[in-house]
Every structure is written in C-alpha cells, then in structure tokens.
Amino acid sequence: MLRLGRREFDAHEPVIMAIVNRTPDSFYDQGATFRDEPALARVEQAVAEGAAIVDIGGVKAGPGEEVDAEEEARRTVGFVAEVRRRFPSVIISVDTWRHEVGEAVCEAGADLLNDAWGGVDPKLAEVAARYKVGIVCTHAGGAEPRTRPHRATYDDVMADILDVTVGYAERAVALGVPRESVLIDPGHDFGKNTRHSLEATRRLPEMVDTGWPVLVSLSNKDFVGETLDRPVKERLIGTLATTAVSAWLGAQVYRVHEVAETRQVLDMVASIAGHRPPAVARRGLA
C-alpha cells in the first residue's frame, strides 16, 4: 500500500504525478507556468486529466542562473499554500533538495518531498520525518545539484541504483518517515548517460523486487531524445513507449508533462495485465 497525503493506492494502481514548473527557464516549457495563474490552471487541468499528484519545482534541474534557497522558497511556498486551498484532495509534491525549502513547503501543506538529487542534503529526510510526509529517494550518481553528467561510469549501474535508493529509503524510515510513504526512483538522466538510463529501464524489475514503490521520471528526457535523435518537443512518442514498458515492468508512479496521454497508456497496460477492466465491453456481446 502506498499512502500519500489523504490518498491510498494499492500495489497495481498506477499513479500520475504532473509536473508544474515554477521557473522562468524550464527545459520543456520555458517558463509557461512561472506566473501564478497559468500554474494554477495547469494544476486544474492536470487533476481533471487524471493526475493524483502535482510536483511543484522552483529550480530547473540543469545548469542556469543561480537560485538560492530564499528565491526557491519564494517561488514555491505561497503557491503550495494556494494549491492546498483550491485543491484540498490533490497530493502536493515539491521537487527540492534543500531542507530549508522542504521545511517551508511542509508548513504550507506539501505531502511529499521529491529529492531528485539523491540526498545531497541529508537534513531533507529529517524534515520529511518531522512532518510525517512522504519522500522520493532518487539515484543521481553522486552528482552535485544542477550539473550534467560527464563520463559517468558504473561497474553495474543497477547495483549502484539499488544501493543508493534502498539505503536512502531505509534511512528515511529509521528517521521516522512513514514506510508506506517512501518511494525510490532510478533517476533517469541524473548522473547517467543514455545507455545507463536505458539499462535502468530494462532492469526496473530489480527495483520493484525490493518492495519499495518505484517512481520513474521519464518525460521528454535527454535519454529519450538521444535514443530517437529527437528534440525536446518531439519526444512524446518515445516517452510514452518508455512509460508503457516501465508500467509492464512494475513501476507505479510516473512524473510527466502530458497527463492525458500518459493516463491512456497506463490504463491500457493495466487492462492488458488484468488489473483494470475495459471502460466499455460491448464487442461480441450485442
């Protein structure tokens, strides 16, 4: 059972986490949801299309203009509070590696801390434990926040992923984070080249077998672009193909830009797997 905020999900229930960037320079939408009203409209649309979680981020993942903790909090804390007011049942996640920001967004109503940089600030898990919120334990290969990988090497990339994410998850629970609110994430692209990310996808069952719910953040990423030689705006098909494979292999939570398309893919895979009945079943019965 996965429990986040007021919601519970069984082991075979796929969950969509919609990306809401509170940055002026995000790689995908170039700041389309930096201002409050477009960002709130994005939340409303994502929830209507089937997202259970919205993931709010105040700093782009890649290199760029420096954003200190104060500015990151300015971009996210008030917005979290407003989303909590307008959408009381939605699960609010905040993409941050800083414990100061984690503390502030938890005070404002966040349910989940999405640590994409693999515990670079060990105090973030302490914040999650203190507020009894969930945490995403990601593998980033030891990379510093907002840096791109350069000649990253692993003897066995999945062995390293398991060591880092499971270790982080166990530490979080030991600190007091509810076990049912901890997820692990292989960290596609983070501290990895394209071949590493493809292998991590292929070997997702090894993560699933740990018993921790697996989150994948695949949406329009560089490993998709390099695999198909497509620019950012032409990566949807590759993203959805990877989503379908990940769902078949047992991942549960999907961090995405395109919610409606992802919902259809996940529903189709769940129905093929026998976990979801068809929405309509008339053929051959009339």
Is 192 a known active-site residue? Answer: no
> Any idea which residue has 């979080």 for tokens?
172
Q: Which of 60, 255, 263, 283 is catalytic?
A: 255
Q: Which of 221, 235, 263, 283 is catalytic?
A: 221
DSSP 214: B
Q: Which of 62, 109, 92, 66 is nearest to 222 (CA)?
A: 62
Run of H or E including 20 = strand 15-21
The widest CA-to-CA distance across the chain, in whole angstroms, is 63
Instruction: Looking at 154-249, list the stretches that DSSP marks H as alpha helix, in order from N- to C-terminal side.
Output: 157-175, 194-202, 204-208, 222-228, 236-249
For the CA atoms of 124, 169, 110, 205, what is the dihedral angle to 10 degrees? Answer: 140
Is 221 a known active-site residue? Answer: yes
Q: Which of 205, 156, 213, 217 is nearest to 12 (CA)?
A: 213
Contacts of 18 (CB under 8 A, 6+ apart): 42, 43, 46, 47, 49, 51, 53, 54, 55, 256, 257, 259
For the CA atoms of 118, 124, 130, 134, what is the dihedral angle to 10 degrees? Answer: -40
Please check whether residue 116 is in contact with residue 90, taking contact to mean a CB–CB distance below 8 angstroms: no
3-state SS, residue 2: strand
Exposure b/e, 31-65, CB count within 10 A at least 16 = b: eebbeeeebbebbeebbebbbbbbbbbbbbbeeee
Q: Any idea which residues carry the catalytic annotation?
A: 221, 255
